[in-house]
Amino acid sequence: MKAVVIKIGGFAFPEQPDAAFLRELAAVLKRLVSEGYRMAVVAGGGRLARTLIEAGRALGASEALCDELAIRASRLNATLLALALGLPDPLSVPTDTPSLVRELAAGKPIVVLGGLQPGQSTDSVAVLTAELMGASLVVKATDVDGIYTADPREAPDARKLDRLTYREAMELLAGKAVRAGTYELLDPLALRLAERSRIAIRVVDGRDPENIYKAVKGEPIGTLVEG
């Protein structure tokens, strides 16, 4: 079975979860499994994570503790995904690297997880998971159709980039703050992990789950980061 990692961004977990969308997303993921793919699905923290981080900071929490709040939110989102996928034990979400290794070693066709440890975004978790399961591709589903020269929601003249090297992506992110809940489309640690193991990352618009299917199948959509 070919291994792939799917990172589902926070867009999929708004303040009011959309069960119909999660079912649609799950249907696409299950179709890929039926076609012979083995996958890990990593859930982002979404709106709940941002709300908890804001409250934590207001209460004087450290960045490490704010990270932990976001991690717990991502695990709840992972449980929602596991429910949508019909997994037999939706509460058995890996909480650290050893438990993730055990889940992967069990040979399950789908493993769902959220964050693992403070200082590590769910993007980094996705790439780390790809390393552990021998996957050569991470598909990052987000709410824009790729990586741009600037945030297209704020800069109308921003230009979409179809392809980037790891180094070019790092340069694009250079100087941007990395704090709990504020990671850009890709964070520096995720890029370094991907570079060391030559794992490609394709960023696509996950608001249409079919884009995830297309990305896994090798269609040239979104932005590809590799090499």
**Tens digit of each residue's pLDDT (9 = 90 or more) over 15-27:** 999 999 999 999 9
State the Cα–Cα distance between residues 70 and 19, nearest whole angstrom.
21
Query: Minimum mean pLDDT among 35-49, 53-67, 95-109, 145-159: which range?
Result: 145-159
Domain extent for 166:
2-225
Per-residue pLDDT tens digits for 104-146: 999 999 999 999 999 899 999 999 999 999 999 999 999 999 9
Phi-psi region for residue 55, left (φ > 0), alpha (ψ -120 to 50) or beta?
A: alpha
Look at residue 181 and tell me whether its pLDDT is greater than 80.
no
Look at residue 182 and tell me whether its pLDDT is greater than 50.
no
Q: What percent of the chain has pLDDT over 90?
A: 84
Look at residue 178 and tell me whether its pLDDT is greater than 80.
no
For the chain, what percentages of helix, strand and coil (3-state, to nearest 5) are there?
45, 15, 40
CB atoms within 10 A of CB 221: 19
Nearest Cα to 76, choosing from 62, 57, 90, 96?
A: 90
- List the 223-225 sheet strands across, edge first: 110-113, 37-43, 2-8, 137-142, 200-205, 223-225, 163-164
Query: Minimum mean pLDDT among 101-105, 180-184, 188-192: which range?
Result: 180-184
Residue showing tokens 């490609």: 200
pTM: 0.93
When divided into structural domains, the chain yields a total of: 1
State the Cα–Cα distance between residues 103 and 100, nearest whole angstrom.
5
Buried b (16+ CB within 10 A) or exposed e, 60-72: ebebebbbbbbbb
Q: What is the pLDDT of residue 175?
A: 58
State the Cα–Cα distance between residues 150 and 162, nearest whole angstrom.
14
> What's 7's domain CATH number?
3.40.1160.10
